[in-house]
Amino acid sequence: MAEDSYRPRDGESGALAGIRVIDLTIARAGPTCVRQLADLGAEVIRISAPGRPDLPGSDSHNLHRNKRSIVLDLKQEKAREVLYRLVESADVFVENFRSGVKRRLAVDYPTLSGINPRLVYASLSGFGQDGPYAERPALDQIIQGMSGLMSVTGPPGGGPWRAGIAISDTAAGTFLAQGVLAALYARERTGRGQWVHTSLFEALVNFMDFQAARWLVEGEVPAQAGNDHPTLFPMGLFATRDGHINIAALSDWTRFLAAIEAPELADDPRFCDFGARIRHKEALRELVEARLGERGTEEWLDRLAAAEIVCGPVLSVDETFADPQARHLNLTRTVNHRVDGAMELLRHPVTLTDTPTGIRSAPPLPGADTRAILVEQGYSEAEINQLLATQAAAEAE
């Protein structure tokens, strides 16, 4: 692979160039979906409601780059007419209202697909589009608890623990973006759009993955395992003389023992195979950490890496971005925000050699593009001024 594979190419056309997305999402999960489409090159027009602030600070900057912004009060008929005109030429419409809200606002799938049958209409909810919980509001931590995630996170016997990120928002937004891409591909064959939807609940239950499979296939209810792998050992976090190190010593057991200068453990019947090592994991942990305690983390990282043992340090977020591999991968891009100035934002983590992802612009202020977008849709200056006067539309201050 070329040395400059990870150089910024933000000015080049992405894979979704020519695709127009109408973004009617709020909070984090829906915007996560749209952000991925924007990073892949789609043109995004974000519709904000008047008087409704974005998530503050870094959260908003992270979610809303690569977009243009118009403010519309969709409770007003004239504002909905603007939306409908935008939908006529759109490829994708993304929303995360509860079912009853989008019907009351007349922005539901039957209404918009009637205007544009080629429209891919994407919905994200807390619990799904119907069912006993369909109208319930939901947030990430609620879903972490209901999905089973909190029951397998944290130290054994420690009670429920949340993950340190809004993982259901990220999961649901990513799955919805995948669904949109699949629906766009299907449209190439059929000429028709379709309704694509997922929920925080569906997405995070799916993210339970092998833990869910343990229950579904084997009838085993997974328990908390702390910093150990739930089913393999030694694979987890171990103490050193001056800190901690993550180690996975599975198929290279004897090489691992040689690296930590404990070859005698190879003949110990308590540790003769995978099953034995799991059954006697606490005894094994004590013996391993006794050797690891003789040296510092950096020295162990060097010794284990030289022996080709899978291992790694435990970094704080600032240390992650200072890591040599992170710097080589150019994980961030610098943009200039109209109010907050220069800032670094996370880039999309997928590299496409011919149609690169990119961050082309900082997040806009709500309504920054209202007038320009209305002109593009054929509104006269008098009509625009009337929309602004009646507050059916608004501009950034």
Query: Which residues participate in catalysis according to the annotation?
Result: 229
Distance CA 122, CA 296 (A): 51
Give the residues across from 43 on adjacent strands: 20
Residue whose token pair is 């949340």 = 162
Please give the C-alpha separations between residue 176 and each of 96, 108, 186, 213, 316, in angstroms, as whole numbers.
11, 17, 15, 22, 30
In the three-class reduction of DSSP (H, G, I as helix; E, B as strand; rest coil), residue 274 is classed as: helix
Burial of 383 (0-12, 13-18, 19+ CB in 10 A): middle
Q: Where are the alpha helices (DSSP H) in the chain?
A: 29-39, 57-63, 77-88, 99-104, 109-115, 140-146, 149-152, 167-190, 200-207, 209-218, 253-259, 274-279, 281-292, 297-306, 317-322, 324-328, 370-376, 381-389
If phi > 0 it is left, if psi is from -120 to 50 it is alpha, else beta; for residue 66 that is left
Residue whose token pair is 């449209």 = 187
Question: What is the C-alpha radius of gyration for the chain, rounded to an integer number of angstroms?
Answer: 26
Burial of 310 (0-12, 13-18, 19+ CB in 10 A): middle
Secondary structure (DSSP) of 325-343 = HHHHTT-EEEEEETTTEEE
Distance CA 40, CA 46 (A): 16
Determine contact, residues 92/37, Cβ cutoff 8 Å: yes
